[in-house]
Structure 1
Amino acid sequence: MLRSDLNKFPDYKPGKSDGDKLKLSSNEIPNPPLPSVLEAMTRAAAETNRYQIDGCPELTTELSKYLGVPEDHLTIAAGASAIVQQAIGMSCHTGDEVIFPWRSFEAYPLYVRMAGAEPVMTPLTEDDRLGLDAVIEAITDKTRAIILCNPNNPTGTTITKGEFRDFMERVPKDIVVILDEAYWEYNDAEDTPDSAEEIFNYPNLVGARTFSKAFGLAGARVGYGIASPELIHGLKLMAMPLTVTYMAEKAAIAALNSAEELLARVEETKVQRERVAEAIGARPSKGNFVWIPRGDAEEVERKLSDEGVIIRRYLDEGVRVSITTEEETNIFLAAWERAGIRPYGE
């Protein structure tokens, strides 16, 4: 009755929550939606007896203006994750392969398996960056898609525009490359690829972004894809109809209209990011989180939990700590000190 390969499906679990403990495990922002966003959602809620217009045309128009990208190069979905999943689905048959550097976003293997394809994981570099040469070496005649997370989750590292373009020139043109930019707004690297620009250079590129992080709408589930009209058509064919609610669409539009205020919060996050990295010996990061590679990850997770802070552990490879406000950073650093955890490298 069930698929014979279900035993191969990874059991993806989101970041933990634990009552009144400070949650720094899911890369959320702690601030509630702005009043203007809440007002838009409340008005939309009064119309939930009606189906929304599929495809979110109002949001597509506003997003086109915001990004400077034509509307036929955009599609709306239930988060960046949905775009990644749809891109895999539109490019893969059963038995095909999807390559991605690892460690990266934990749901990638699941999305690949759901399409009936095989995940091919290639190593990061010694400094936890995407190993692009290793990806190229892993390409076979079964490869149908490649996923690059930039900034990479959980390591926070980025690639340069030159590295990306050199990579794209070496990738066969019939392979779809997915650039997952869920943390785009936090990426202040001076030199980094921008999918809203690169799609005009590479017709096989799909950019995936979200309103879940910097725009503070994680629970609304809304994101978007950026690509050539041909790939946008494929993404739309793979989308489950009516998955982005009218309330989510209106919330995203209101958030775009308040982008300046919301992105000011991002600047505070960047300040706290550098502060935490220096204090605990974390690697430099371009996301709203820092990564600490540690063999004692389970012990670090337990000690911080005992002190009232929940972080995310990745087996015994390391831990990821979400970065939020100055107030929450103070709580985290005090917990770290009470727990007696040595900074990485000492």
Structure 2
Amino acid sequence: MTSPQPLPHLSSLPPYVPGRPPTAPPGVTPYKLSSNENPYPPLPGVLEAAEQAVATMNRYPDMGSVALYRALADRLDVVPEQLSLGTGSTAVLFGLLTAFCGPGDEVVMPWRSFEAYPIAITVAGATPVPVPLTADARHDLAAMAAAVTERTKVVLLCTPNNPTGPALSATEVRGFLAAVPEHVLVVVDEAYLEFVRAEDPVDGIALVGERSNVAVVRTFSKAYGLAGLRVGYLASTPEIAAAVRSVALPFGVSTAAQAAAVASLQAETALRARVDLLVDERERLVKSLAEIGWQVPEAQGNFVWLGVGDRTAEIAAACDAVGLSVRAFAGEGVRITVGEAEANRRVVEVLSRLEP
């Protein structure tokens, strides 16, 4: 007896493991440091805009997302036709790979990097080509360029790299683009763009203006604090953006999400103040960890990385015992989100009791 069968390549899909919530020992305030969420409440005016939008939940969202496309285009100094929206940058990436890849195609990506990459590539029917990071947890751009073949359709760059933290420089990316054939689409994932304080930072929008084979993917989930509403976008050439829009889920971005994103763009001053607070906390956390013997790679996102290998489960369990959930990558390391000051203090406290 036979039954309907899914496509064969789906059997090789790696699972996406979300950050789990913390357990709460008696008398201890738990903190979730496993999903790189913004610990602060919505920006001024955002909750009110979302609440007003929710009142129309009996109607479909504006499928054209006209107000949000216009607000984004004004902010980025591009035309709306260069943009494509989705339910988070992950959904946009799935759409992009669906539009540009198929069976027999390859996608070059850094690894370890964002765990949705191999999933999205495999769903599109393409083959992931992971390129190991360097010893200091950075993209090995020379090796990634060497991995490009006649089968390569897309290359993924993640800056800052999730989960390890280092950011690419504009000079590095421009050099990489010069080494990649013009028919290969290079995707610059800037989910943590706002937290970067490195010299010569990447400006993905500027790269889009310089080359016709670059797409930038960004999100409202991290710095803007809209993780629960799911809004992300792509910026590229009108042709590339149109291809991604053509495969997007109709009515995917809800009315409340559109309204909240527009309001968030109008709260730029408050956004920058909150991001600065998180960056200050990140720097204090990195310094405190170094003082007790823990060295972390360059941290340019809202998280730090401990490449502890076989000790990953031990470190994660020690954090869990004091009400901290962290993101454990089995056999590789632990990613710890920069959270509230008390949460970060507790991270240092628990790690001070462990051997680096």
Q: TM > 0.5 between the two?
A: yes
User: 1:73-152 maps to which residues of 2 (within 5 A)?
Assistant: 73-152=82-161
In structure 2, distance between residues paired with 1:13 and 1:313: 10
CA displacement at 1:19 relative to structure 2: 4.2
Change (3 A) 1:117 1:103: same
Runs of 4+ in structure 1 over 6 Å off:
none
Deviation digits for residues 234-284 of structure 1 (CA, Å, limit 9, x no counterpart): 110121111100110000011111121022111111111111112222222
Structure 2 equivalent of residue 274 of structure 1: 283
Identity of aligned residues (%): 39
The yes-or-no answer on 1:298 pairing with 2:313 is yes
> Aligned runs of 1:164-175 on 2, under 5 Å?
164-175=173-184
Query: Using the alignment, how far apart are the partners of 1:18 and 1:157 within structure 2?
Result: 26
For residues 342 and 222 of structure 1, the distance between their equivalents in structure 2, rounded to whole angstroms, comes to 40
Output the amino acid matched with 1:211.
Answer: F
What are the Cα deviations for residues 146-165 of structure 1, in whole angstroms up to 9, with x where unaligned? Answer: 10000000111111111111
Paired residue secondary structure (1:313): strand
Q: Contact (CA 8 Å) 1:277, 1:283: kept in 2 or not?
A: no
* Alignment TM-score, normalising by the size of structure 2: 0.93
**Which residue, out of 328, 336, 341, partners 2:351?**
336
Secondary structure at the counterpart of residue 276 of structure 1: helix
- Residues of 1 paired with 2:96 and 2:84: CA distance? 12
Give the aligned CA root-mean-square deviation in angstroms. Answer: 1.3
Output the CA distance in 1 between the equivalents of 2:350 and 2:274: 24
Partners of 2:81 and 2:73 lie apart in 1 by 9
Select the residue among 206, 216, 222 that pairs with 1:213.
222
Give the deviation of 1:324 after TM superposition. 2.2
Asked if the contact 2:23/2:323 (under 8 Å) is kept, the reply is no
Structure 2: how far apart are the matches of 1:259 and 1:213?
14
For 2:23 and 2:43, the matched residues in 1 are separated by: 25
Unaligned runs of 5+ in 1: none
Partner residue of 2:190 out of 172, 181, 184: 181
Which deviates more from structure 2 when the two are superposed, residues 110-119 or residues 281-290? 281-290
The one of 311, 318, 324 aligned to 2:326: 311
Moved more, 188-197 or 324-333: 324-333
User: What secondary structure, in the 3-state scheme, does the structure 1 residue paired with 2:228 have?
Assistant: helix
Cα offset for 1:174? 1.0
SS in 2 for 1:219: coil
Contact 1:77 1:244 in 2 (8 A): yes
The one-letter code of the counterpart of 2:43 is: L
1:35 CA displacement: 4.8
Is residue 2:341 matched to residue 1:326? yes
**What are the Cα deviations for residues 119-155 of structure 1, in whole angstroms up to 9, with x where unaligned?**
1101111211111111111111111111000000011
Amino acid at match of 1:232: A
Q: 2:45 is paired with a residue of what secondary structure?
A: helix
Q: Indicate conservation of the 8 Å contact 1:84/1:208, yes or no.
A: yes
- The answer to whether the 8 Å contact 1:28/1:213 transfers is yes
Q: Distance in 1 between matches of 2:206 and 2:92?
A: 18
CA contact (8 A) 1:268 1:325 kept: no
- Counterpart in the other structure of 1:231: 240
Aligned to 2:7: 3
The whole-number CA distance in structure 1 between the counterparts of 2:122 and 2:37 is 27
Query: Which SS does the other structure have where 2:277 is aligned?
Result: helix
Alignment partner of 2:264 out of 233, 255, 260: 255
Partners of 1:341 and 1:66 in 2: CA distance:
46
Unaligned runs of 5+ in 2: 25-29
Give, in whole Å, the separation in 2 of the partners of 1:201 and 1:123: 28
| Conserved 8 A contact 1:308-1:335 | no
Describe the SS at the equivalent of 2:211. Answer: coil
Letter in 1 for 2:226: L
Separation in 2, partners of 1:10, 1:247: 32
Q: Secondary structure at the match of 1:99?
A: strand
What CA deviation, in whole Å up to 9, does each residue of 1:279-319 have, x standing for no partner?
Answer: 22222210000111112111101111112111111111111
Using the size of structure 1 for normalisation, the TM-score is 0.95
Is residue 2:296 matched to residue 1:287?
Answer: no
3-state SS of paired residue (2:8) = coil
Q: CA contact under 8 A between 2:23 and 2:324: conserved in structure 1?
A: no
Contact 1:87 1:206 in 2 (8 A): no
Q: Structure 2: how far apart are the matches of 1:113 and 1:14?
A: 19
